[in-house]
Structure 1
Amino acid sequence: MGTRELKHLLHKGEETHRATFLELFFDLVLVFALNRITTRAVGDFAADPGTLGVIFSDVGKTLVLLLALWAIWHVTAWTTSRYNPRHEAIQLVVIVRLLAAMVMGVAIPGAFTDRGLAFAAAYVTAQVFHPLVLAIMLRGSERQNLKLRMLITFSATGILWIVGALVPPGWGRGALWALALGIEFGAARFGWPVPGLGRSPLWKWEIQGEHLAERYQSFFLIALGESVLVIGLTYSDNSFSAGRTIAFAAALATTVLIWRIYFYRAGQVLPEAVSKSKQPARLGRSTADSHMIMLAGIVTTSIGYELTIDHPYGEVPPPWLAVVLGGPALFMVGRSRLEYEVFGRVSRARIVVLVVLVALFPLLMPTRPLVGLVAAALVLGGAAVADWRRARGAPPEPAKPGK
């Protein structure tokens, strides 16, 4: 590849700082796919609310589907942060991944039964097509080696995905898909090592850090958008009874508080933190893990919303209460991690919230689901108030990344 063509393929500074309309379009597909994961998980929880073994199996399946969806979005975000998202080849990659995510979303309800092949084929197509196109575009460049290693890795794990889809529904499919994800995430963390080709140290990766940080912010809003969709659809599907109305209001309040806690202030200055970092790629990878944890927390919280709005005064099986309280707790773990990455410290309010949410679990077992949802909203409200009091009258805290 000539120097001129390579320069056109790479980022062009401020011109490609913001997300393109195609990337935002891709995000809309993710809202649908995330909603399918939530709906499927709610069905599993409602079907066997007290069977511990079944619950663990259902949680594992949900996690596999969620991580696969995250992998599709995450690789896309890194691609458009390393290369010009307005280049025709990059747009083609994004479109293929968009279509694959849509097929995966359609297949999610039956991914572990009769639609496994559609889900796996869409995932493998997206993951193999991306490095294949870029390896061709980057021929003759030093960057081509990374794409070749990614292509080899995804081709190898693709076999596990397809074989998993072809085996009879059961634990074998989940095990093969989980193994494939483990290999892929491990390879990404260690520079995509391949025998004979070596690996690519993360510190060598050049990225448009502010673009990547903005994509993480967008994905957080995607997850919240899916929560709003769950709240609205669940509440509008049945009667507007007093219990369901209170649950609806508590769910909305919780979603607003999660938004407030994220963006004030670590999420708001994330682009600044990445731009100040000595190793933007390393900080970008670390904050990716934090957002993945927060995503899992928000999806878990959405499951709790639907269960509680539909059954505000029902019995409280332990798995249901674990979802209602565990979702906000998991979000707070990821948010605390992000705070440390952006500011180099974790506020006391984050630790208090985690301790209180864990302590509430045994206390709320004799109550009803609605009580747990309202309690979680009040705890998050306390964290938001603590943030407001700490910042009142003080200048905005600047980002101080440690990486």
Structure 2
Amino acid sequence: MSSASFASVRRSVAPLELFFDLVFVFAVGQLAHHLHDELSWRGAAETAVMLVAVLSTWALTSFDATFLDVARPRTRWLVLVVMGLGLFMNAQIPHAFADRPWAFAIPLVVILLLVDVFAAVTAPTPVLRRHYRRVTAWAVVSVPLWLTGAAMDHGPRLAWWAAAAAVDMLGVWLAHPLPRDRLSSRGLVFDAEHMVERIRLFIIIQLGETVLTIGTAISAAPVDAATVTAGLGVFVALVCLCASYFQGGEDILARHIATTTDKLLPVRRAVSGQYPTLAGLVALAVGAELAISHPTGHGSTTLSLLLFGGPILYVITQAWWYRASTGQAWGARLLACLAFALAGGVTLRLPPLASVLILDLVLIALVVTLREVHRRVLSGMTAGTGA
């Protein structure tokens, strides 16, 4: 396919891509369960390492499906194979740092090498083939770290896998540069609208899986006024987090990408932002489980870090993206993060139910503010384009 014809293609998200996302968002619940069972700084580090592994494989495969066209039979087969490997890998999350490190690491390294080599050989343009050779070079660095960590005992495994995860995440964030050889995104043909829709759907599915995790906690808790109130309060918090992006925010993203000369850069930033976004949702899910289980119990530093730190990660990622990409709509989000931090300190000694209700107040104020902010930004964008 020539560059010109490749540039003219505008594809909607295929059902296979959405199916693929469901397999990887299955990991949200698995990561939350691991953190809940290992509620310590080491448990948080283990959860973060596995979260990076999950999202790196999702990001690489999703970019492949966009660059290589998921309508092509070879690309569809690649996505299906990665789905199968990813399902098995994600199922091992609760056991990866216990008795099944190889069951987690082997599917992961196979995905990394398969996706990179496949794209390096079959990409439709020389620029893309060269890019994926650089991606493969980064994988050659991280894969031995993953395998060495799997061979280690539980203690040192975290250090090896943390190094591997750092390589994979930095590769995604930086677009896998090599010395004197890096991707020039301004000259790259890219179906940005397709990838924007992928990100949009992936966020919805992440929120949906978080709802399921919290719903399980509600099901296991006794039915009384405090539990019901805590459950409803957590649901309100999730609705507000959803509205903070989908109440006009996605339109700003789409409008910005449609008008920018470098369409890949803001999409890369949005994909990079999925790491802290997912981390925030996992933290909130675990904090919600604790609050729903003991709504009238004692507050704690751990609970405050989870209940308020999760939304901070989620919202500050949005603030970073808006500041870096549009220079607008980020101030209100930053102020909300400061409010979350203050609320987390104030509620250290309050019952978990009170923490949930205060979290709701901050989030509702943020959503009301963002409705006006997004409307104003979109009006300015429309006026600027003469539409």
**Same fold judged by TM-score > 0.5?**
yes
CA RMSD of aligned residues (A): 2.6
Alignment of 1:206-217 (within 5 A): 206-217=189-200
CA distance in 2, matches of 1:390, 1:283: 20
Matched, 1:66 2:66: no
Partner of 1:43: 37
Aligned residues: 384
Where does residue 386 of structure 1 map in the other structure? 369
Structure 1 residues 183 and 315: alpha-carbon distance in aligned structure 2, compared to 1, 3 A threshold: same
1:114 to 88, 92, 99: 99
Paired residues of 2:319 and 2:329 also in contact (CA < 8 A): yes
Distance 1:155 1:278 in 2: 33
Contact 1:325 1:373 in 2 (8 A): no
* Deviation string, structure 1 residues 228-271 (Cα, Å, up to 9, x no partner): 10121111123212111111100110111111111122223322
Offset of 1:300 from its aligned partner?
1.3
Matching residue of 1:180:
164
Distance in structure 2 (CA, Å) of the matches to 1:259 and 1:241: 27
1:11 Cα shift?
6.4
Q: Following superposition of structure 1 onto structure 2, how do residues 123-202 of structure 1 map, counting pairs within 5 Å?
A: 123-138=108-123, 141-170=126-155, 172-194=156-178, 198-202=181-185
Identical counterparts, % of pairs: 24
Structure-2 change in CA distance of 1:307 and 1:268 (3 Å): farther
In structure 2, relative to structure 1, the CA distance for the partners of 1:121 and 1:346 (3 Å cut) is: same
Q: How does 1:190-339 map to 2 (within 5 A)?
A: 190-194=174-178, 198-339=181-322
Take 1:274 and 1:12, find their aligned partners in 2: how far apart are those partners? 16
CA distance 1:203–1:11, shift in 2 (3 Å): closer
Letter aligned with residue 85 of structure 2: A
Distance 1:12 1:140 in 2: 14
Task: Work out the CA distance in 2 between the residues paired with 1:124 and 1:7.
Answer: 34
Q: Which amino acid aligns with 1:23?
A: E
SS at match of 1:162: helix
Note closer, same or farther for the CA distance 1:204–1:386 as it changes in structure 2 (3 Å cut): same
Output the TM-score relative to the length of structure 2.
0.91
* Conserved 8 A contact 2:32-2:282: yes
Would the aligned equivalents of 2:34 and 2:43 in 1 still touch at CA under 8 Å?
Answer: no
Cα drift, residue 148 of structure 1:
2.4
TM-score (norm 1): 0.87
CA distance in 2, matches of 1:140, 1:182: 29
C-alpha change, 1:378 and 1:102, in structure 2 (3 Å) is: same
Contact 1:364 1:371 in 2 (8 A): yes
String of CA shifts for 1:262-288, please: whole Å, max 9, x gaps.
Answer: 112222332222121111111222222
Give the aligned partner of residue 51 of structure 1.
none
Which deviations, in whole Å up to 9, do the C-alpha atoms of 1:70-100 show, x marking residues without a partner? Answer: 1111112211222211111111221122112
1:368 CA drift (Å): 1.1
Asked whether the equivalents of residues 241 and 363 of structure 2 are also in contact (C-alpha less than 8 Å), the reply is yes
Q: Which of residues 28, 32, 35 in structure 1 aligns to 2:22?
A: 28
Structure 1 spans left out of the alignment, 5+ residues? 46-54
Alignment-mate amino acid for residue 43 of structure 1: D
- DSSP 3-state at the match of 1:192: coil
Give the conservation status (yes or no) of the 8 Å contact 2:290–2:303: yes
Whichever residue aligns with residue 160 of structure 1, its letter is: L
Q: 1:194 to 1:347 in 2, by over 3 A?
A: closer
Is the Cα contact below 8 Å between 1:33 and 1:105 reproduced in 2? Answer: yes
Higher mean Cα deviation, 79-88 or 108-117? 79-88
C-alpha change, 1:114 and 1:276, in structure 2 (3 Å) is same
Q: 2: CA distance between counterparts of 1:391 and 1:223?
A: 23
Contact kept, 8 Å, 1:243 with 1:313, in 2: the verdict is yes
Over 3 Å counting, the alpha-carbon distance change for 1:277 and 1:377 in structure 2 is: same
String of CA shifts for 1:288-343, please: whole Å, max 9, x gaps. 23333222212211111111111212222211111111111221101212333454
